[in-house]
Each structure stands twice: as structure tokens, then as C-alpha cells.
A and B are shown apart, each in its own frame.
Chain A
Amino acid sequence: MKSANASIGARALDRLRDLVWLYVALIAVGLVAVALKSRVVRVDSWPVQPSASSIRNLAHLTAGTRMTASSHHAEEKGVHPLYAIDGDPKPPLRWASEPRDQKPWLHFKLAKVSHLTTFQLEHTPGAHQQSPRGYTLTCFKRTAGILATVAESHVTDDDWKGTMHPCDCKGITEVRIQFDASKSGASDSVGLYEVTLMGSVP
């Protein structure tokens, strides 16, 4: 009985120790998964809502667009990427990138192949009045998984309220707006009250 007890005890001890180490290993695996996870910020998206007009804001949350951002400044109140496409350009609700993000961007995956005709960004004033208002808007077409550039527009010093810029992007599926905050010299993040991408679905 004594040796039977000892073997049961030994087995139980070994199993318990194995369980503890298994748990530690699982936590380590989870930590690696967290560390390797993409840093891209993905926001919710919704199906396309009906529109009375053929020309619409393709970036708006009712257009079925899926938006991602390089970062967002969660420590600030009234900041969320969706505020940039909610159809409300009034302060204070805005998107703002993290101050550490030197090359902030917003990327829009359009619901359908579209034609983009004009774009407008309404910028937030920076803390040092140096919030970068220069950016590059690139139109892409994705075919069979390959992303090809259709057209590019460079804006060097946009107006605060944002000018409506013309562009001619036909048959596009994605749009990226890329900023460069590294030259601004301040610890400002890029901020936008609203992004408007006017276009139509052929």
C-alpha cells in the first residue's frame, strides 16, 4: 500500500508540475502572440447604406468602407478614427495619431470599385500650430491580391479647413492618406476632424 501510495503521489506530483509548466508555456505563447500582433488600428465597419445621390463621400462610415489607421492617440479625450468619417467636421471630435507615430496614415478599403473625383481634409490645429498639413493621397487598385498604384496627389501645405482638391482616380479599390510628422519638429500628432472622398460607383 505504501509503495502504491508513493507511486500515486509521485504521479500526482508530476502531473501537477506538468500542468503548472503547461500553463506558464501557454501564457508565454499568448505573450508572443500579443507582441507579434499587427500595430495597425482597425475600426468597425458596416454594410453600405442606401444613398439618394450617385455622388457620395466614399470614406463615410455609411459607404461600407473599411478604415485602418497607423495609430490613434487614445490618451486624448474626443479622439477616435471613426470621428474622421462620421460626417461631422465640427470640433472637438477628431482622429489624432500617436505623437510617437512619425509617419501616420489612414487607409480606406472601399466597398466597391469606385471613381474618386475630389478629396478634402479638415485638419485640427496642433498644440504648437505646427500640425503637419502636408500629405500624399494615393489611389490603389487591387487585382488578384496585387495592389497597384493608380494615381498619387501631393498636398504640401493644406488650408486648416481643407481645400477640395480635384483628382482623377478611376477604377480604384483603396485609398491611402500618408502624412509625414517627422519634419514638423514638434511632438504634435496629426489630427483630422473629417476626411471627405467624393466619388461614385460606376
Chain B
Amino acid sequence: MTRTTVRQWFAQQAQSRADARAERLAILDAKWGLPVWAWFVLVFVVGLAVRLAGAHKAQGLYNPDEIGQYLEPAHRLLERHGIVAWEFTKGARNWIVAWYYSSVLTFARWLGFSGLQRLHFVRYNDALVSLVVIPAAFRIGRALSGRLESGILAAAMTALLPTLGYFSSCAMAEWHCLLFLTWAFAIWCENAHCPKASQDARRALLVGLLLGFAFVARPNYGLVVPLVVVDYFLRRRYRELITLLCGLAFVVAALGVVDWITWGTPFKSIIEWLSYNIIEGKGAEAHLHPFDYYFRKVLYGGYGPALFAIILAMIVSIKVTWRAVLGWFWPFLVLSFLVNKQDRFLLPIWPCFLAAAAASLVESRELLRRRFQWMKRSRVAAGLVHALPFVVLGFALKANYSATLRQPWNFKASLFKAHNWVRRQPDLTGLAVDGRWYHSGAYTVTDRHIPLIFDQKKPPSARIYSHLIAIDDSAALAKESPDWQLLRKFGRHTVFRRRDAWIGAKVGNE
């Protein structure tokens, strides 16, 4: 009996996979002008170009957490040395994202990259991986309205959006959360709007697993889980709900095991995160902004006046698009109540927002057409109405492009360059830097196992520090000192060398 049940289960899974594949192939076969697969090729190429351009243009940091929270711990895992942020001594972070980046850095090492080249390798890796979100956006858009046009528009917007192109090369857990969350939404929306009995349980399990991974990457996006759970409950899909919760519990349990192995206590990273942010309220000590910051600076600032057309369309077509609308609006609202606000905290909701926008605009256009039949008689009016979603999204893209240009592209870029040049000096025995360690690239960029010290407002006395990267006042002090010799300038940063360094002077080449 048991063997038959197991055999039946496997047969069901195989059928479910076969049905899913047949469905995907049917979609690829369909046409909206061009075949869908041709649209995908186009969108991927454009998305790749946008992301590579973003990775190439960004010469500095977006946020110090890229080094402090992800790359430096990854370097430490790989090379067994590195600077340790307080979160990794207190246990407020799990090591999963750091492990991922340590694997990426391993490949950078195997390919012969060192210093700043490794940072660029990570950036290009992240930019490539971020393309995976494009099919998910297509699936959300198509699932909501049932139209290929919505899906293709959603995919195109996700590929083209400059904000995503900028952030795609930033080494941050928000991106990992975005990937998992968007795919969770895609499968959830498909399951809700286009249910297929043979695939429902498998889809529910995938949604649970993906929501779990999104939570592991950014715990504050656990707030999306109740949204999905309530939807399944209200639709009385209890079996699928249990399957979803099993998937979610599996990933969360795995996090507990990882924390147990790395920190000695299960779920320590979650406990410390809750303690720091919620109980002690220390998360509210930096980046403090009023309630409307996200709306003014991020939403309106990112999409311009087209935002109002998008929101109006979402309201008009809410019956059809409410899942995706809630998918971005619910985290947006909750995070607005937290005083600690940063642009990157909203990153995971953008593909869902774009898919909701695309589907809403297409649906609203169809509503307009049905409501105002006379438009069909006028070619001009019909053309204008047909073009409405494209025009609105076009304006949104334009506003987003301007907003993205205002992001920090070269924050600490000169310090990185100075750091990268100094690391190549064969007589380097120790490096002192006038700057924070998480602004400079730390050991990730130094890629040498020598002492590093930071926040040096004056030249250090210990002879082991053969080189100094100084700026402004500290540079002036070093210039006046007879013990230090000026080597090279990089923007505002100046590199000095101690005259009595232990190892004989050999200035390297660029």
C-alpha cells in the first residue's frame, strides 16, 4: 500500500512537472507581435546591457554595508582573516549571504583576480544573476490580467528600470531578497489566477520555500508571509496552505541549524536582530526620516508624475491586480512606519510594483475601451488609448533614469583606487588609512595579509605601517612630516610612504 502511495506521489510530481513545462512552452509559443520567446531574448539583452552599464559605471560604494556586512565577512571565510563588524561578533547576522559571496570570491581567485578586480567580479556576477528576476516579473504581469502584453511590459520594465540596473551590482542581501520574493509572488499569483490542480501543491511548496529564503536574506520581509497565508486561507486552499507552511518552516529550520552551527544557538541571528531593532530600538539611531519619506523621495522621486497615473490605474483595476498591489504596498506601508529608512530597504518590492503597474495600466486601458466604445471609431483616439500604458511607463522610466543619475556612483571611489594601488606595492608591510574601514574596501580590496588600521587622523608612529592613505588634514600633517614621502594622489586621497620602512622602497607600476 505504502509503495503504491509513494509511486503515485512520484507519478503525480512527474505529471505536475510535465504540465508546468507544457504550459511554459505554450506561452513561449504564443505571439504578441513577435513570439514570446523573441521578446524574452530582446528583454534579456536589454536588461543585461542596463545592468552591465550600471556595474561598469559604479566605481565606488552605494552603501558601506556592501563591504562591512557581506564582502569582508566573505573574504574572512575564504582567507581566514578580515575585519569583523560588530554584527558578526554579537551574532546579529547569519553567515549565509557571506558564504554565497565567499564562493563567488573563490572563483574570482581561481580566475586570477585580486584586489579591486575581485570587487568588480562580484559586481558583474550580481548584475548577471539579477536577470533571473525578469521572467518572474513576466509571470506576475501575465497571471494578473491573463494577457501576454502585461507580462511582456512587466518584464521589459524590470529589465529597463535604471534603479534596478544601479542596485543590481551592489553586494547586498536586499537583492537576494528581491529575487526570492519576486519568484514567490510569481508562483503565488499564477496559482491564484491560473490554478492547475496537478501543479497546485508543488507551487504552494515553492512559494513557501521562496518566502523562507526571502526572510533569511532580509528578515523584515517576513511581513509578506501573512499576506500570502491569508490569501490561501480565504480561498480555502487548506492543503496548499499546509504545504506552503511546510516549505517555509523547512527553510526557517535550516536557518536555525545554520545559526546553531555558526553561533552556537539556534536562530541566534533572528533573536539578535529582533533584540537590536525592536526591543532595544537601536535600529532607530541612524537614517531617521519622517513617515512620508518613502513616498516623496523614493516613490515619487523615482517615478515622477507618472506615478499618479500608475496609482490611479491600480485603483481602477484593483479587482484584478490586488495581489501584486498588496505585494508592494503592504511592505511599503509597514516600512514607512519605521523611522530608520533607506532606499535599499524598498528594493525587493520594485519588480512586483512594476508588474502591478503594467497589468493595471493594460487592464485600465481595456476598461476604457469597453466603457467608451466610440473610441473605436476614431483612429486617433484608439491609437492614443492603445499607447496609454506605454506612454505612462515611458515617462516613469525617464523620471527613474534622472533619479538614478543622482545616486552615489563614485562614493569613496578615489579611496578605493588609492587602496588598490597601494596593495600592489611590494614594500607594503602595513597600511594606515584616514577613513572608516567599511568605506575603504578593507581586506577585500587590500587582499594582502598585513596590518590595516583606519580612522588615522595623523601618521602612525609604528614602523610596520609603511604606507598611509590620507585626506585633507591628515594629508597636510603627513606632507609636513620629515618621516613621510608623498607617492601619489588619487582625487582627494594621497598616498604616503614611510622613509624608514622596513622593506626597501620599490614603487610599483599602475
Interface residues of A (CB under 8 A from B): 2, 5-6, 8-10, 12-13, 20, 23, 26-31, 33-34, 37-44, 46, 49, 61-62, 72, 74-75, 80-83, 86-88, 93
Residue B77 interfacial (CB < 8 Å): yes
Are A12 and B503 in contact (CB-based, < 8 A)?
no
Are A34 and B76 in contact (CB-based, < 8 A)?
no
A72 CA to B28 CA in the complex, in Å? 56
How far apart are B314's CB and chain A's nearest CB, in angstroms? Answer: 31
Residue in contact with B463 in the complex, picked from A74, A81, A87, CB distance below 8 Å: A87
For A46, list chain B residues within 8 Å (CB): 426-427, 429, 502-503
For A41, list chain B residues within 8 Å (CB): 80-81, 449
Are B450 and A44 in contact (CB-based, < 8 A)?
yes
Residue B24 interfacial (CB < 8 Å): yes
Are A27 and B449 in contact (CB-based, < 8 A)?
no
For B463, list chain A residues within 8 Å (CB): 86-88
Are B81 and A74 in contact (CB-based, < 8 A)?
yes
Are B80 and A37 in contact (CB-based, < 8 A)?
yes
How far apart are A59's CB and chain B's nearest CB, in angstroms? Answer: 13
Flag B451-481 by CB within 8 Å of A: 1 or 0 each.
Answer: 1000000000011100000000000000000
Query: 9 A-B Cβ contacts within 8 A?
Result: A5-B29, A5-B35, A9-B28, A13-B25, A13-B28, A30-B107, A61-B503, A87-B502, A93-B464
Are A82 and B430 in contact (CB-based, < 8 A)?
yes
Are B132 and A20 in contact (CB-based, < 8 A)?
yes
Centre residue among B29, B36, B429, B448 by max chain A CB count within 10 A? B29
Are A34 and B99 in contact (CB-based, < 8 A)?
yes
A44 CA to B76 CA in the complex, in Å? 16
Are B451 and A80 in contact (CB-based, < 8 A)?
yes
Are B464 and A86 in contact (CB-based, < 8 A)?
yes
Q: Which A-chain residue is minimally distant from B451 (CB atoms)?
A: A80
For B28, list chain A residues within 8 Å (CB): 5-6, 9-10, 12-13
Residue B68 interfacial (CB < 8 Å): no
A82 CA to B502 CA in the complex, in Å? 12
Q: Which B-chain residue is minimally distant from A67 (CB atoms)?
A: B449
Q: Which A-chain residue is minimally distant from B29 (CB atoms)?
A: A6
Q: Which B-chain residue is minimally distant from A88 (CB atoms)?
A: B462
Given the known interface contacts A5-B28, A30-B107, the answer about A88 and B464 at a Cβ–Cβ threshold of 8 Å is yes
Are B429 and A75 in contact (CB-based, < 8 A)?
no
B93-110 residues at the A interface, CB under 8 angstroms: 99-100, 102-104, 106-107
How far apart are B398's CB and chain A's nearest CB, in angstroms? Answer: 31
Residue B83 interfacial (CB < 8 Å): yes
Are B462 and A86 in contact (CB-based, < 8 A)?
yes
Q: Which A-chain residue is minimally distant from B108 (CB atoms)?
A: A30
For B84, list chain A residues within 8 Å (CB): 74-75
Residue B78 interfacial (CB < 8 Å): yes
Residue B6 interfacial (CB < 8 Å): no
Residue in contact with B41 in the complex, picked from A12, A34, A38, A42, CB distance below 8 Å: A12
A30 CA to B429 CA in the complex, in Å? 30
Centre residue among B25, B100, B448 by max chain A CB count within 10 A? B25
Are B103 and A74 in contact (CB-based, < 8 A)?
no
Q: Which A-chain residue is minimally distant from B88 (CB atoms)?
A: A75
A8 CA to B132 CA in the complex, in Å? 20
Q: Which A-chain residue is minimally distant from B44 (CB atoms)?
A: A16
A188 CA to B195 CA in the complex, in Å? 61
4 A-B pairs with least C-beta separation? A30-B103, A9-B28, A86-B464, A9-B37
A82 CA to B463 CA in the complex, in Å? 12
Given the known interface contacts A6-B28, A9-B25, the answer about A34 and B103 at a Cβ–Cβ threshold of 8 Å is yes
How far apart are A4's CB and chain B's nearest CB, in angstroms? Answer: 10
Residue B504 interfacial (CB < 8 Å): yes
For B427, list chain A residues within 8 Å (CB): 46
Residue B382 interfacial (CB < 8 Å): no
Residue B378 interfacial (CB < 8 Å): no
How far apart are A80's CB and chain B's nearest CB, in angstroms? Answer: 4
Residue B509 interfacial (CB < 8 Å): no
A78 CA to B89 CA in the complex, in Å? 16
Are B132 and A9 in contact (CB-based, < 8 A)?
no
Residue in contact with B102 in the complex, picked from A2, A23, A31, A75, CB distance below 8 Å: A31
For A29, list chain B residues within 8 Å (CB): 103
Residue B486 interfacial (CB < 8 Å): no
For B300, list chain A residues within 8 Å (CB): none
Residue B129 interfacial (CB < 8 Å): yes
Given the known interface contacts A9-B29, A88-B463, the answer about A34 and B451 at a Cβ–Cβ threshold of 8 Å is no
Q: Which A-chain residue is minimally distant from B503 (CB atoms)?
A: A46
A33 CA to B83 CA in the complex, in Å? 21
How far apart are B82's CB and chain A's nearest CB, in angstroms? Answer: 6
For B83, list chain A residues within 8 Å (CB): 74
Residue in contact with B80 in the complex, picked from A26, A40, A49, A83, CB distance below 8 Å: A40
For B102, list chain A residues within 8 Å (CB): 30-31, 34
For B401, list chain A residues within 8 Å (CB): none
A6 CA to B31 CA in the complex, in Å? 11
For A86, list chain B residues within 8 Å (CB): 429-430, 462-464, 502
How far apart are B504's CB and chain A's nearest CB, in angstroms? Answer: 7
Are B37 and A27 in contact (CB-based, < 8 A)?
no
Are B504 and A49 in contact (CB-based, < 8 A)?
yes
How far apart are A77's CB and chain B's nearest CB, in angstroms? Answer: 8
A106 CA to B24 CA in the complex, in Å? 60
A66 CA to B82 CA in the complex, in Å? 19
For B411, list chain A residues within 8 Å (CB): none
